[in-house]
Chain A
């Protein structure tokens, strides 16, 4: 015989202001099987929870209904309290009379009637609850980090320092990502290389980190605790263990001056066998077969091999596929810049001295193509006047994207400062719409660009840039003075907006995690679960999630790492028991369920007799992947699937309770 307790929460005036809580309690008391009905100001408070426990004990309850706030809020709180009194946690049901009643209705009488209905439904449901055990999934305590930029490196180091093995996979020949392309960083102006290189070296030398550069994820399957990964390690045509990084090979390569350097954003050239930059980690060259003369001319050229001391260049090496099993994954795939040539009016790509912000970083950088001396690409002269244009591609739904790229205001102020420091007597002009400088020291930094370093800020966008007598004429507006302005500049720097890394949407599909319409990876909850993806065991970090700066990327890398270390601190991973359950006796193996499952949780299971003969094939639910969403239940023709805790008889009873 059911012995149900109903607890009606006031939530101060949040619920009691709109719902007649006493009436709800009175109605509850009338329901057969309800042996106790109480109302209280704050059920979630310590005294509230104690009264819950006391009633369970005294009345020997078999089930509990809380008419209170959303289960997202306090279901766990009340379950824990019930477990302490020996009740199965799934015998606690919540009637949400706050978010679904008091917060969305005004008429007290009708709101109260709805609250009573919701409470009644839950009473009928709890009467039919069966005990459910949580599912335990074993954990492979090894993590995969995809992307070796600052966020990925930070995550890898934190996890590795926590004593857990990490596999760090990077697509490019070197780790370091975008940050290592930068010159000095805002707002402290520390040199990016100086603070980044030690981290790169540490990641490379860490005993717990296995680094695969020039490698890509080929396939991902499995679930939290047990992901099976295939990594394509593209061949570098170099036997890595023998290579000393001496540089003889790239010095000998005849293809110098012919291939644009990706790292320097086409501002310089590289050879066919190359390291992207001198501080590359690992310092092992890769051979770009698409341009190498050895492959183009039938094996004739082997100048690099001739020059190589340890003879570690091998033209016959092939890509390798490496298989790994990990318990958790961090996706930190970073960002790309928008293609600014879509702005015909700005002439990017047509005028050599119109460059992107990241190109300007390379022109500022001591390791860049001009060794840190600012020289304009067209004629190598040092510019005296530079115009900076903000929001190029950002905040532009017509040609670019509607969002703000967040870092441009700050890096433009930094560019103006560094330009002033490097070229005395020079002048920078910055066209902006709004200035976003909201972190510690940022506003002061921007003010400093104007007040100390003399940058002139104009509030407005630029309409057109054209060449005239060796100058770039910039036609803009200053909306504060209400004027059209024209500035003759030696160079123009466009603060190009950011996009998620090309191909990150494909990776997300492979990982089974969600991403937004731009391709940024989406968080499980934008505020409260910012490090988690939509899939258990996969975490996010860095710009792959959206525009953010270096400190935020570092924080997000650490956050993902701490989530993984927390996950791995237990021996097994507990999954809520409310998952799909197949009745193997009635399943007809049509596998409609498999087609609708968004989490790839359903597989084919063969049932065999003792002699090993196949009797039948049925659907099988992987508890590690199932989220209990119920899509399969609806798709099942033979009514062979139920989600535990949401059985058909419970749902019918809930509906029936509404019939008057």
Chain B
């Protein structure tokens, strides 16, 4: 793979990420400890340390379309062990947020992305999560109608799936939070 570095684009992207991250990309010296301990590294297309370097080099398209940013489970193992105290988990959040704001729909991990979107919609309309509604809407959207369905009867029997959700009373305030910060 060859990448021609456009200085202006590189700086724009790197500094945008840095300002959202409150951290410096140059801090990372590519020791790879993040990738060594990442529990989901085996599914990723780029290792976490590669994502950091690619961001520094301004490879915006590749980073924002990577599987990695959506596969990251935010377990914080990387940041906890990072010898430089770099916000490795944080950069994944930042890159997801940029992708989301740019309207980039992940080609490979759309289901992960969609789950976050449906989840927040559920919070927006109820103030709390109504699990049955969340799962239902998510299944409709992803069209995985029957995945995990075998769990449902037993969960119902055990009382784990409530048929009615609770709504908070001051939904206006939630609406305002979403309006102000979305």
Contact = CB atoms under 8 A, between A and B. Distances in A.
Query: A–B direct touch, CB within 8 Å, in complex?
Result: yes
Interface stretch (A135-143, A440-448, A472-480, A511-519): A472-480
Contact of B32 (A398, A464, A479): A479
A86 B115 CA distance: 91
A605 to B, nearest CB: 54
Interface string A434-473: 0000000000000000000000000111111000000000
B11 interface: no
B37 A398 contact: no
B32 A396 contact: no
A399 B82 CA distance: 9
A475 B77 CA distance: 13
A479 B31 CA distance: 8
Contact of A395 (B77, B82, B83): B83
Chain B interface residue count: which class? 20 to 34
Nearest to B77: A463
A71 B82 CA distance: 47
Given A477-B32, A477-B35, A482 B85 contact: no
A345 interface: yes
A225 B180 CA distance: 75
A477 B83 contact: no
Contact of B83 (A459, A461, A464): A461
B42 interface: yes
Interface in B36-52: 36-38, 41-42, 46-47, 49-50
Contacts of B81: 345, 463
B31 A391 contact: yes
A433 to B, nearest CB: 5
Contacts of B29: 395, 433
Interface in A470-508: 475-479, 482-485
A566 interface: no
A contact residues, range: 20 to 34
B10 interface: no
Given A396-B83, A397-B84, A477-B47, A484 B33 contact: no
B32 to A, nearest CB: 3
Contact of B36 (A396, A397, A400, A476): A476
Contact of B42 (A462, A478, A484): A484
Nearest to B49: A479
Interface in B68-124: 77, 81-85
B82 A475 contact: no
Contacts of B36: 460-464, 475-477, 484-485
Nearest to B50: A482
B47 A484 contact: yes
Contacts, number: 74
B37 A464 contact: yes
Contact of A398 (B35, B38, B47, B84): B84
Nearest to B38: A484
Interface in A223-250: none
Given A433-B29, A482-B50, A460 B35 contact: yes
Given A479-B49, A482-B47, A484-B47, A461 B85 contact: no
Contacts of A459: 32
Interface in B1-54: 29-38, 41-42, 46-47, 49-50
Contacts of B38: 463, 484
Interface in A31-46: none
Contacts of A463: 33-34, 36-38, 77, 81
B36 to A, nearest CB: 4
Nearest to A485: B36
A477 B42 contact: no
A433 B31 contact: yes
A93 B41 CA distance: 68
Nearest to A459: B32
A464 B32 CA distance: 12
B33 A462 contact: yes
Contacts of B47: 477, 479, 482-484
Nearest to B41: A484
Given A397-B84, A399-B83, A460 B33 contact: yes
Interface string A387-398: 000010001111
25 contacts: A391-B83, A395-B83, A397-B83, A397-B85, A398-B85, A433-B32, A460-B33, A460-B35, A461-B31, A461-B83, A463-B33, A463-B36, A464-B36, A476-B36, A477-B32, A477-B36, A477-B47, A478-B32, A479-B30, A479-B32, A482-B46, A484-B35, A484-B36, A484-B38, A484-B41
Given A397-B83, A433-B30, A479-B30, 14 more contacts: A395-B31, A397-B84, A398-B85, A399-B83, A460-B32, A460-B35, A461-B33, A462-B33, A462-B36, A463-B77, A479-B47, A482-B46, A483-B47, A484-B42
Kindly list the 4 A-B residue pairs having the minimum CB-CB distance in the complex, ordered from nearest. A463-B37, A460-B32, A477-B36, A463-B36
